[in-house]
Structure 1
């Protein structure tokens, strides 16, 4: 090692410090660059070989770049909805176009990586950052929200159209009053269901059609009687009185009962169709028995009491005599052809309120809110809801707080047309106002149809405790929630990226729908990535291949700033300047020594 070696070492020192100065200069220049990761300088000494340790001398120096990619920059909020930042480990997957074809960028399929998240939507619907890198991610099914694959692709949102989605579920929450106040309740008979704020089924017809599934009332026998009559022997008529012994003997003809003919002739009496009663030996009792067979009367047999004939309908059919050419009924004391109609009976409750009963229904029920749902064509359907209390514990033992829910199926119904439809479920609450039935948090409204618009089966869902019956001073239902999951077709208006890394589209139908999922990648050797223009990086052999997924999280409407610390860079600048000056002093000193050596030979 000599003077000339010292000169060479000093030159190496100047080169190393120049390299450091270049890095410092770049770091300071990019102090405000989004996502920029500074480059530090590390120095390595170059020791010449020496045979013995005591002959070892200080060597030269070389400089190396030292990446700080893993160092987090400060994350700050942004007013741009598509700006994103990463908190922690990870990179955005991006690609840079290699050209343009038909005004559309073309890509070579090479993925780069960046933390510069200042993405904005360009004219073609791509998310591009200020350095020209196009964001990648995985598209999401707009209906299900499920990813469409797991391989990131360049994202584009251009004139996205979302088809209509039919309503399949309504989320509902409400408190029903312990004592409903209806139009009819203040003036109703005390102690009645109407006075308790409920709905009196008897006000809607004998069949109780309003409450779905209400058992039909049983039919009640009806009867018709004739005046007291005498036979030819001045004895009162009995069932054994021969037809030939009536004041005017029955010698022929027929009668028609409920459309079935009974013939009078001198042939033998028959007990099965075609019916015939012998005019010579037949009795009044034979006639009554035949009539009961025709009507199907098995519970209240037609009879004669104190000479008065009583014809019963029984429970199966009404009684109507339309023809009597024999004159027998006049002989039995009937001034007109006998006719009687049963009372009660009918079908089970249908759960329907017809147009004629709308006023009564409105007066005995309370509003349950309204919601606009959509059918498969995206047509909006306005669903009006009403609650009716059908039983109240205030009526005494054996009664429970029971409600029925109705929806308006035809807003212009008249006469016998259906106006309101019962959902078909008894909602029962205990004395604490807690719903005890139905269990399971929901019911199904079958084939929901309003004003001819068919929606189909819709689930009415309510969370635990969402449907209750607590005291209310107003006596009305308090609606906490009534939402649904359908919507009309819509056109994409704008996009934003949320904190879950989801690209959310806002559509013209008012819906916010997930369109894509931003994916992150990470590397085993992050600081060995190759830096590219525009704060991007490429994988190297030392960094290893990209690994899908990262521990970092995405922050929406945010940007990660440069990790450059200006104060630190200025400090390094001073040190580098001093070191550079010192190396120049070594060169000056070595030059003086060489000059002194040369002067020796003069």
Structure 2
């Protein structure tokens, strides 16, 4: 009966607007929740009578579907915690509940979130107050990230930082800039050996020294412009690790620069970049003495012996002072010696349909058939955005828009209630016909 369909349509309208009211109340309640994605209720009409000119019409009513607008992004809010992390653009952070990773990250335990305030627990594992543990790829000892599969979570580990850890950075490269006195290679010079000690750091953070001596070749007449450089390693008991014959140019255009380097023993000299391939107790060490004709390396000028520029990498053992995350998702530790080390990389999780993800508590999401399979990107690559430290993502709720929708929903609900009241009065009139 047509009048009965009107009653059903009115009830459907009440239910639909009640659902919309629920989404509005949820959105307003979470207007201050970091990372909250607003819910949206969409109405679709239901058509029962499809034939034209039938003479009768039955109301089908309305049905509603709710969608979490996960692809919308809230404004970033600055904080004072270095490990408050948000994503600027597309992509999500991989996390897992603390209770589910006691035996490692298992398949199906990974969840996603767009922001989180992470702090180390008693074991140094980064987690939020709600128990979400941040996941990432651990770096190798040299700071590189190993090649791992991007379509599974098998390589992801809980990000753990020991606040009491110490670390040292061994010296692997050294640049030597020294001026040798030209007068020492002239006939009649004393021929004294000039010593130089250069500190470097071993694999265990110990301070070692390269003891370098420069001995001039004194000719019977004129100038030889030639020196013998001997390099000894204190970590090997003072053993000689290299001996070289240096000849300097005395021409007007390139006077004082290296003319040739002859290897007597030790690593070879590479003219292309002016380096010596040394081997110290801890392993290879690349020493730069300058290219041939280069005034920035070893020189022979005037009558003074002066180390003009000695630079090296590496540092002694230091204590952890700070941990920060950069835009590429690398978690870097800084030590009080000035040394920095890469500890983890946080990948960006992306799926074809973000709005198809299953919404869970604490602004987390999981894969569903509607979302499609996930892929782990490097931050800033592919469709993903950058990782932002010292920031949280704000709620996507627009309170003014929600209050406007609240007024509309209230009016629509009242109107549907009026339809039910009217149908009730008409049915009452129908029952009164018999009287």
Instruction: Please classify the TM superposition score into its range, dividing by the shorter chain length.
Output: 0.7 to 0.9
Equivalent runs, 1:171-570 vs 2, <5 Å? 171=175, 193-194=182-183, 199-202=184-187, 205=190, 208=191, 352-353=193-194, 372-381=199-208, 424-426=245-247, 431=253, 439-444=271-276, 446=278, 458-461=285-288, 467=296, 482-484=311-313, 486-490=314-318, 492-507=320-335, 509-549=337-377, 551-552=383-384, 553-570=386-403
* Distance apart, 1:162 and its partner CA: 6.0
What is the TM-score with the length of structure 2 in the denominator? 0.75
Report the counterpart of residue 152 of structure 2 in structure 1: none
* Distance apart, 1:141 and its partner CA: 0.9
* Distance apart, 1:157 and its partner CA: 2.3
Aligned partners of 1:457, 1:89: CA distance in 2, in Å? 43
Equivalent runs, 1:41-52 vs 2, <5 Å? 41-52=41-52
When the two chains are superposed, the root-mean-square deviation of aligned CA atoms in Å is: 4.3
Aligned partners of 1:557, 1:435: CA distance in 2, in Å? 50
Specify the SS of the correspondent of 2:327.
coil
Equivalent runs, 1:55-204 vs 2, <5 Å? 55-98=56-99, 109=107, 110-147=109-146, 149-150=148-149, 151-158=155-162, 161=165, 164-171=168-175, 193-194=182-183, 199-202=184-187
Q: What whole-Å deviation, never above 9, does each CA across 1:265-320 have from its counterpart, x for those lacking one?
A: xxxxxxxxxxxxxxxxxxxxxxxxxxxxxxxxxxxxxxxxxxxxxxxxxxxxxxxx
Do the aligned partners of residues 477 and 567 (structure 1) sit closer, same or farther apart at CA in structure 2, a change above 3 Å counting?
farther
* Distance apart, 1:531 and its partner CA: 0.3
- Paired residues of 1:442 and 1:459 also in contact (CA < 8 A): no
- Paired residues of 1:442 and 1:462 also in contact (CA < 8 A): yes
Could you tell me which runs of 5 or more consecutive residues in structure 1 were left unpaired when the two chains were aligned: 183-192, 211-351, 359-366, 392-397, 412-416, 449-453
Aligned partners of 1:125, 1:59: CA distance in 2, in Å? 59
Q: What whole-Å deviation, never above 9, does each CA across 1:547-574 have from its counterpart, x for those lacking one?
A: 2225212223322222222222222222
Q: What whole-Å deviation, never above 9, does each CA across 1:120-161 have from its counterpart, x for those lacking one?
A: 222211111243211111110122523274421222223675
* Distance apart, 1:43 and its partner CA: 0.7
Do the aligned partners of residues 105 and 25 (structure 1) sit closer, same or farther apart at CA in structure 2, a change above 3 Å counting?
farther
Aligned partners of 1:455, 1:98: CA distance in 2, in Å? 43
- Paired residues of 2:38 and 2:397 also in contact (CA < 8 A): yes
1:4 aligns with 2:4: yes
Aligned partners of 1:387, 1:112: CA distance in 2, in Å? 63
1:38 aligns with 2:38: yes
* Distance apart, 1:406 and its partner CA: 7.2
- Paired residues of 1:98 and 1:106 also in contact (CA < 8 A): no
What is the TM-score with the length of structure 1 in the denominator? 0.56
Report the counterpart of residue 260 of structure 1 in structure 2: none
- Paired residues of 1:117 and 1:129 also in contact (CA < 8 A): yes
* Distance apart, 1:64 and its partner CA: 0.6
Do the aligned partners of residues 431 and 386 (structure 1) sit closer, same or farther apart at CA in structure 2, a change above 3 Å counting?
farther
Report which of the two structures shows the higher radius of gyration computed on alpha carbons.
1
* Distance apart, 1:383 and its partner CA: 6.4
Aligned partners of 1:588, 1:140: CA distance in 2, in Å? 69
Aligned partners of 2:29, 2:330: CA distance in 1, in Å? 33
Specify the SS of the correspondent of 2:205.
coil
Could you tell me which runs of 5 or more consecutive residues in structure 2 were left unpaired when the two chains were aligned: 150-154, 261-270
Aligned partners of 1:144, 1:441: CA distance in 2, in Å? 25
Report the counterpart of residue 27 of structure 2 in structure 1: 27
* Distance apart, 1:404 and its partner CA: 7.2
Aligned partners of 1:121, 1:468: CA distance in 2, in Å? 47
- Paired residues of 2:143 and 2:341 also in contact (CA < 8 A): no
Do the aligned partners of residues 18 and 575 (structure 1) sit closer, same or farther apart at CA in structure 2, a change above 3 Å counting?
same
- Number of residue pairs the alignment of both structures matches: 399
- Paired residues of 2:246 and 2:258 also in contact (CA < 8 A): no
- Paired residues of 2:248 and 2:256 also in contact (CA < 8 A): no
* Distance apart, 1:67 and its partner CA: 2.2
Aligned partners of 2:409, 2:426: CA distance in 1, in Å? 26
* Distance apart, 1:399 and its partner CA: 9.3
Do the aligned partners of residues 431 and 536 (structure 1) sit closer, same or farther apart at CA in structure 2, a change above 3 Å counting?
same
- Paired residues of 1:81 and 1:556 also in contact (CA < 8 A): yes
Aligned partners of 1:516, 1:534: CA distance in 2, in Å? 24
Specify the SS of the correspondent of 1:562.
coil
- Paired residues of 1:10 and 1:584 also in contact (CA < 8 A): yes
